[in-house]
Amino acid sequence: MAKAKVLLVEDDRGLAEVVAYNLNRSGYEVLRAHDGRDALAQAKLKLPDLILLDVMLPLMDGIEVCRHLRAAEETHDLLIMMLTARAEEADELVGFSVGADDYVTKPFSVAVLMQRIRALLRRRQEMVEPRETVTVQGVSVDHRRHRAVVHGRPLPLTRSEFRLLSTLIRQPGRVFDRSELIEAALGEDTMVLERTIDVHIRALRKKLDQDADLIETVRGVGYRFREASIK
């Protein structure tokens, strides 16, 4: 079973290290951001299972980040747990009013935080059937079974090719630059040239065969999955 992805958005580096360490120990894949703008970018690119979102952040505060996430179609349903040093009831109400799923005030016990995270993820799994399969233009990506097919024909993809296709097909029409695709398909800690993505795209197009043109090149920028035409 794939690890649940948690995006930790916290500008206090010391606290972030402690929380990230415990998340890793608990079996989660941890993504990190230290300001609101980076949090928005990573949330849209990585689509984490849960966002731990501090309220007081540089560049854009957590309340505004939460508003943006709830307003965007691709991030509307992401789980968001707010973290804040404020303990006033009014602040909690503001957090919930913009769409937070849970609210934890500092200082907090890390053990209690882990319990709250598990409970929130479990509740989502029990209440909402996640969108495991995405189908666009005859291409289907089944994330639970880690399978991809084109017009019923299985695609024998490598792990990186699958993640690359999954990233593109979730947001048809959106242009991803090469650095974004490296993070999404290969991992942000992978030391590779941006042109490595071109190699993966060529391999993916070859396997798509007659549907290769569904992955479009945007010159000077990157790649996108073609949107269905409106007739």
- At which of 105, 127, 149 does a domain end? 127
- Same structural domain for residues 114 and 14? yes
Domain boundaries, position 192: 133-225
What distance in Å separates the CA atoms of residue 58 and residue 173, rounded to the nearest whole number?
30
- pLDDT tens readout for residues 52-108: 999 989 999 999 999 999 888 788 889 999 888 765 554 555 656 677 888 888 888
Q: What is the CATH number of the domain that holds 160?
A: 1.10.10.10
Segments in the chain below pLDDT 50:
1, 90, 128-130, 188-191, 231
Instruction: Show which of 62, 95, 127 is a domain's final residue.
Output: 127
C-beta separation of 21 from 14 below 8 A: no
The per-residue pLDDT for 87 is: 57
CATH number at residue 97: 3.40.50.2300
Residue 231 falls inside a structural domain = no
Could you tell me if residue 230 is inside a domain?
no
Asked, for residue 89, whether it belongs to a domain, the answer is yes
